Amino acid sequence: MTLRPRGRAIVPAAAAALLLAACGTSADPAPPERPRTTAQPVRLPEPLLDRPVDTARLSPLELAAVGRAELIERAACMRRYGFDDRVRFTRSLYATLPDRSYGVMTDEDARRHGYHMAPDVDPRVPANQKKQTDLVTSRPPRTAADRRVRALVLYGTASDTLTEADARRADGPQPLREAEVIGTYKDRPVREGGCAEEARDRIVGDGGSERNPVAMRIYLNGFAQAEKDPKVRRAVKAWSSCMARKGYAYDSPLDAGTDLPTAREPAPDAREKTVARTDMACKHTSRLIEVWSAAEARHERRAMAGEKTALAAETARKKRMLERALKVLATTEDAAS
């Protein structure tokens, strides 16, 4: 491989050529992800809350699906260079952070898990990395030179940290610029950003990141404004009074359970589950979830009225992105189980 120096991310050409020669031969590749004989459509479950802005905002589960599809494409790209990367699915796609906008949100979660997440949930957003999937190889690099070669093909840089190509990606729709070719490996051109950025281009479809910034801003601002809404404050006060009558002193449902001895333990105990079930009972009597979500929706719609053009673009972008991601998951065995 020959490389042209390009700032801090790329090692000098002569050194890079020597490094890449170290990985020039390999054994037979391990099997990749198993393709399905026939595509199985992937349908993501409906969200717990119906937010107006979610037509354009990608939910944590949708971001997880996009991230998982990118990882599958990344592995496929590496195999085209002779590596044997594949994706190991360690958890279900659906083991994604649930909606906890107002604390515990369902009777089932309260009964089974108290204030804890289900054991298979990945609390990160998007939940698509170590706890759900791993990019693995049966031939891990043995030397520092091998690791640098692999990093150059995978990330377009000698480092496995944030790449220059990644740092340039702004949120939202961005022009898809032609990637600079930084060298060749096994007679194949290697682009800046490597297989990681190629995979992202394939799934995202443009030069931006996976997030839609206008929709996300409206979502965050809507939540903040709803907290101050008089109807929400009355509902929170009614919920707090209900909890007090049951012997639990909490001013906000966002604080409920944080003082319990098991709050930082791996699993809830019977007392925590009792408090959580009481929490949900008081949410029902105060109609807190209905009132709070309705207030969020009002504030979102008001903000959306002033961003029609941007949101139309982001809605279309989200639709196309998810179509590409779900198509990849539908044609890969176990990718969306």
pLDDT digits (tens, 9 = 90+) for 147-185: 888 889 998 876 555 556 566 666 767 777 788 888 899
Q: Does position 328 have pLDDT exceeding 60, yes or no?
A: yes
Q: Does position 315 have pLDDT exceeding 70, yes or no?
A: yes
The pLDDT value given to residue 308? 98
Cα separation, 133 vs 113, in Å, equals 24
The pLDDT value given to residue 122? 57
Cα separation, 10 vs 141, in Å, equals 19
Cα separation, 259 vs 263, in Å, equals 7
Contacts of 334 (CB under 8 A, 6+ apart): 33, 34, 89
Q: What are the DSSP E strand ranges found in the chain?
A: 86-89, 133-136, 181-185, 188-191
Cα separation, 220 vs 250, in Å, equals 24
Contacts of 45 (CB under 8 A, 6+ apart): 61, 94
pTM: 0.82
pLDDT digits (tens, 9 = 90+) for 9-40: 333 343 344 334 434 434 344 456 666 656 67
pLDDT digits (tens, 9 = 90+) for 194-212: 999 999 999 999 888 888 9
Distances (CA, A) of 178 to 201, 203, 207: 11, 16, 9
Backbone φ, ψ for residue 184 (5° rounding) = -130, 155
Q: Does position 125 have pLDDT exceeding 50, yes or no?
A: no
List residues bridging with 190 in a β-sheet.
Answer: 183
